[in-house]
Structures are given as structure tokens and as C-alpha cells.
């Protein structure tokens, strides 16, 4: 792995449909840009990313209003995991810590 830390090993990435450095096999236009400083992605760079962010925020607000506390916490965890997965698979690069490189 050339000394780089990645989220998945090459074997597990291949089983999940990823190629090489955490890039999805069916790579299309990215929805999110990786951060220049830190880890992960920043704001969306495509309308699909903004729609994803809007849907996530709307679902969280509605769930907070309509559901009891325990159900909201469970749904919030599931929605957040789905949002992170979407951002990871639709970002324009490898997720790693960056220091302004």
C-alpha cells in the first residue's frame, strides 16, 4: 500500500466494487470535493450533491419533529451512515488526511 493509509485494503475494496485508491468502479461526475485540509469532503460541487444534502437535512428535521427520541436517534444514525457512504462513493478523490498539499 506504499505507506499510505486508506479506508479499505485493496482486497476489501475490490470486493465492494472499488478500484485502486478508493475510487468506485463505475466512476462518473463527482458530487463532492475532498477537503484540502483535514479528512473527508466539504460542500457539494454538483446539483446532485446539493440535493443529497437537502434530502438529508430535511429528513433529519422531519424525523426530529415527528418521531420519539429513541426512534429519532436510530434513524439519525442510519441516515448519517447513508450520507457518509454516498459522499464517499461520489467524491472526487481518495479520503485521507490532507495538510494543504
- Entry pTM: 0.66
- The answer to whether residue 32 scores a pLDDT higher than 80 is yes
Nearest to 96 by CA among 32, 42, 34, 30: 34
Q: Domain count of the chain?
A: 1
15 domain-assigned: no
82 domain-assigned: yes
For the residues 13-19, what does the mean pLDDT come to?
49
1 domain-assigned: no
**Domain assignment of residue 56, given as a range:** 30-99
50 domain-assigned: yes
20 domain-assigned: no
CB 44, CB 50: distance < 8 Å? yes
Model confidence at 35, pLDDT cuts 50, 70, 90, reads confident
90 domain-assigned: yes
Nearest to 65 by CA among 57, 11, 82: 57
Amino acid at each position: 500500500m506504499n505507506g499510505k493509509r486508506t479506508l479499505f485494503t485493496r482486497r476489501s475494496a475490490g470486493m465492494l466494487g472499488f478500484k485502486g485508491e478508493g475510487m468506485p468502479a463505475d466512476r462518473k461526475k463527482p458530487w463532492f470535493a475532498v477537503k484540502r485540509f483535514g479528512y473527508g469532503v466539504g460542500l457539494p460541487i454538483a446539483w446532485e450533491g446539493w440535493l443529497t444534502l437537502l434530502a438529508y437535512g430535511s429528513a433529519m428535521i422531519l424525523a426530529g419533529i415527528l418521531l420519539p427520541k429513541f426512534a429519532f436517534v436510530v434513524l439519525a444514525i442510519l441516515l448519517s451512515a447513508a450520507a457518509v457512504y454516498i459522499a464517499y462513493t461520489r467524491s472526487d478523490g481518495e479520503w485521507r488526511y490532507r495538510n494543504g498539499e
